[in-house]
Amino acid sequence: MNKSWPTKKEDMQIATVIMEEYARKKETATISLFELVVDEQEKRMDFRLADWVVVLALQFKEMYGVNQGDDVTRLVISQCLIQGETMH
C-alpha cells in the first residue's frame, strides 16, 4: 500500500466519525464489514455490507467523485483492517 494518499488524515477522521456513530446507534463497541440479514418468512440468511460501509462509500463518492471516492473507501477500509501493517 505505497499509494499516495494526501488526504489520509482527513479521510480517516471522517471514517472514524461514521464508524463511531454507527456503533453508537447499534449500541455496540465493535463493528464489522458485513451484517447478517435474516428473512424469517423465507427462512434464509444473507450477508450484506454493513450500513456504515455504505455511508462511508457514499460520503467519499460525494467528496471525490465515483472513481476516487471508491479508491479512498478502499484505502480507509484497508487501513482499518491492517492498521498500516502488511498482510501475509
Q: Model confidence at 82, in pLDDT bands (50, 70, 90)?
A: confident
Is there a contact between 56 and 65 (Cβ–Cβ < 8 Å)?
Answer: no
35 CB-contact burial (10 Å; exposed 0-12 / middle 13-18 / buried 19+): middle
pLDDT at 45 over 70: yes
pTM of the model: 0.82
Average pLDDT over the chain reads 90
Identity at 16, one-letter amino acid code: T
Q: What are phi and psi of 68, to 5 degrees?
A: -70, -35
Q: Model confidence at 2, in pLDDT bands (50, 70, 90)?
A: low
